[in-house]
Structure 1
Amino acid sequence: MTEALRVYRPTAPVVVFGRRDTHLPGFPAAVRAAEAAGFEPLVRAVGGRPVAYTTEALVVDHVKQERLAPEGLETRFKQYGSLYADVLHGLGIDARVGAVPGEYCPGAHSVNARGVVKLVGTGQRVVPNGWLFSALTVVGDDARLRPLLAEVYDLLELPFDPASVGSLATEVPGLTVDSVEQRVLEAYGATSPQPLDEATLELATQLAPDHRITP
């Protein structure tokens, strides 16, 4: 495998913590809050702070084997941030690249609407000869996410403004995960990387328990 693209639709609500979060005093309480709200708590491979999403979301993982991958970190953030902003523009959203005040899992290359609410979060994991670029697009259910994220961030004593949580369907009523997925795939174009091969998916299944949180 030299390059692969996986488009993933969540099958259940989850709260995904960063590894740094697991060392905070409020982490056990934050995990319990997620579970009480019906969200499965997980720990992600890429960096960042807690994010939450339901089945009304789209996750795209782009993996590539490439020499000197760490040197392209900033370039990839800019390239794919612009790609997702262009996709959202095409859907009728006033999309911009950049963090908004008080956003969850803050990042300079998040994609927002109107400079007010976060819609797409991006992250990377880089090794010497390869990289993973992951993008989470919140299509809907922002009203469900807002109070849960507020509680999780409060328990972890991390800065957060619930008003920063948005979704594509709130910006443009009627948008669906199907329509967003189609636009994302079109944005990657005819040279879109192939789906992950069976051996890679099998290995990912074996490693998945390492990212689940046990009481």
Structure 2
Amino acid sequence: MTTVLLDEETAGGPAHDVALGPLLLRHGVGEARDILRIYSPEPTAAFSRRDTRRPGYPAAADAVRRFGFAPVVRPQGGSLAAYHQGSVVVDHVHRAEQAAPDPVARFRRFAEMHAELLVWLGAPARIGPVAGEYCPGEYSINAGGMKIVGSAQRVTRDGWLFSTVIQVTGSGRLREVLNGAYRELGYDFEPATVGAVDDVVSGVTVQAVTAAVRAAYGLTGPVVPVPAALQAGSS
């Protein structure tokens, strides 16, 4: 198996970020079977397609813009998640003609991996939802009564895309934007459940979490830049 770490400094902004994972899943990078991108994005409000069917979606999109977050629609399921420069996003693409049929097993496997690396950093990380959390899921990761990691996935004939967001710093800003948007969407939501790793581990940084993620995946090879054709937005 070949793992490629793509350049986390790739420019393009939120719309490019949300489009790149599906493009990598469809087109790949050379002969790589597994493609990993780890990055900290510009302020992004990632709505799901289900969110866009809610009557309050236009108002929610306007609300996130007022807080300086760009609204985008992601291909994975779930509901609205927000992230920014204080977050670490991990997009793992696995290309296979016949993807493993059990998505729950992937949720469990990656939750265990990410919880373990956060415990290593000193966070009292636990797998499981917190009542009233944003984008609720059985395999969310919480600490101190707050959600600090969320994940979503997409399975296609080309393989699967598994995306994880680790909130490292800046939970107050995330809480503010999510509260405004969830109110418009009409979902149950408790703002106090929005957290970040630095709420429970003093002094932790995006750089430290990124390094821990790379170590957990065993990444030792060189960074491979995103192919120019995908940066241009291949269809």
For normalisation by structure 2, the TM-score amounts to 0.81
SS of structure 2 residue aligned to 1:159: coil
AA aligned to 2:67 is A
Aligned residue number for residue 149 of structure 2? 120
Q: Could you report, residue by residue, the CA deviation over 1:38-94 in whole angstroms, capped at 9, with x for unpaired residues?
A: 111111121111111221010010111124315131111111000000011001111
RMSD: 1.9
Aligned pair in 2 of structure 1 residues 206, 24: CA closer, same or farther (>3 Å)?
Answer: same
Aligned pair in 2 of structure 1 residues 96, 204: CA closer, same or farther (>3 Å)?
Answer: farther
Aligned residue number for residue 140 of structure 1? 169
Aligned residue number for residue 211 of structure 1? none
AA aligned to 2:141 is V
For normalisation by structure 1, the TM-score amounts to 0.88
Provide the C-alpha distance between the structure 2 equivalents of 1:19 and 1:110, rounded to a whole number of angstroms: 20
SS of structure 2 residue aligned to 1:69: coil
Provide the C-alpha distance between the structure 2 equivalents of 1:41 and 1:203, rounded to a whole number of angstroms: 21
AA aligned to 1:79 is R
Q: Could you report, residue by residue, the CA deviation over 1:11-62 in whole angstroms, capped at 9, with x for unpaired residues?
A: x211110011111111111111111111111111211111112210100101
Aligned residue number for residue 72 of structure 1? 102
SS of structure 1 residue aligned to 2:142: strand
Provide the C-alpha distance between the structure 2 equivalents of 1:56 and 1:183, rounded to a whole number of angstroms: 15
Provide the C-alpha distance between the structure 1 equivalents of 2:215 and 2:230, rounded to a whole number of angstroms: 28
Aligned residue number for residue 50 of structure 1? 80
Provide the C-alpha distance between the structure 1 equivalents of 2:56 and 2:78, rounded to a whole number of angstroms: 17
Aligned residue number for residue 4 of structure 1? 35
Aligned residue number for residue 158 of structure 1? 187
Q: Percent identity?
A: 41
Provide the C-alpha distance between the structure 2 equivalents of 1:178 and 1:94, rounded to a whole number of angstroms: 19
Provide the C-alpha distance between the structure 2 equivalents of 1:51 and 1:205, rounded to a whole number of angstroms: 26
Aligned pair in 2 of structure 1 residues 112, 68: CA closer, same or farther (>3 Å)?
Answer: same
Aligned pair in 2 of structure 1 residues 207, 72: CA closer, same or farther (>3 Å)?
Answer: same
Provide the C-alpha distance between the structure 2 equivalents of 1:44 and 1:87, rounded to a whole number of angstroms: 26
Unaligned 5+ segments in structure 2 are 1-31
Unaligned 5+ segments in structure 1 are 209-215
Answer yes or no: is 1:93 the counterpart of 2:120: no
Q: Could you report, residue by residue, the CA deviation over 1:146-187 in whole angstroms, capped at 9, with x for unpaired residues?
A: 122111111010111101100001111110000000001101
Aligned partners of 2:40 and 2:84 also within 8 Å: no
Provide the C-alpha distance between the structure 2 equivalents of 1:144 and 1:153, rounded to a whole number of angstroms: 14
